[in-house]
Amino acid sequence: YTAEGQLAAGSVDAVVAPGDLPATVGRWLGLLAAGDAPSPAPVPAALAATDPPETGWDAVLRARAADRPRAGAYLDAYFDARLPLSGDRCGGTDPGLLCGFGVREGRAVAYVAQCGTATRPAGYRTAARVIRLADRLGVPVLTLVD
């Protein structure tokens, strides 16, 4: 049993070198202690064309375009800083789902984002874990479905 094996099995969120531990814990505490605002978190801005496609087939082609922005691009553009959570704590991970917490305009926001692939059972369990944690912390959740 190694730390890296536990990471691959979804039992831990990260493997951190002892020298990096204070900075990592500091980033997490700073992120989760971010201020709260009474208004809803802002909606992500569009990163690609927003004009309606001329035909249904044009919509399909736009959705399937290899160069269109994916979930990671939206998360990078939306958050000032973000830290990932990984694994379902039952032995699985899903590389097709990005989950974690970020800061937007001084406010902590949890996120669950599909990456354009089929979500596996481990991904659904990881998403449920992040959503339960966000509920316990009173943090809003941003979901992106691709």
Would residue 90 count as lying in a domain? yes
Structure token pair of residue 40: 């809803």
Would residue 59 count as lying in a domain? no
Q: Which of 30, 28, 62, 34 is nearest to 48 (CA)?
A: 62
Q: Is 70 exceeded by the pLDDT of residue 92?
A: yes
93-145 tens-digit pLDDT: 888 999 999 998 888 999 999 988 889 999 999 999 999 999 998 889 999 98
Please state the domain count of the chain.
1
Would residue 55 count as lying in a domain? no
Q: Is the dihedral of CA 56, 60, 63, 66 positive or negative?
A: negative
| pLDDT for res 84 | 92
DSSP at 9 = T
Would residue 14 count as lying in a domain? yes
Range of the domain at 88: 3-35+69-144
| Domain at 124, CATH number | 3.90.226.10
Would residue 57 count as lying in a domain? no
- Taking residues 75-82, report their average pLDDT: 92
β-pairing, 107-114 vs 141-144, is parallel
| pLDDT for res 36 | 64
Q: Which of 27, 100, 132 is nearest to 16 (CA)?
A: 27
Q: Rounded to whole angstroms, how far apart are CA atoms 82 and 47?
A: 19
Q: Rounded to whole angstroms, how far apart are CA atoms 107 and 141?
A: 12
13-66 tens-digit pLDDT: 889 999 999 999 998 888 888 766 656 767 777 777 678 888 999 988 988 888
Report how far apart, in Å, the C-alpha atoms of 132 and of each of 55, 100, 118 are. 40, 12, 22
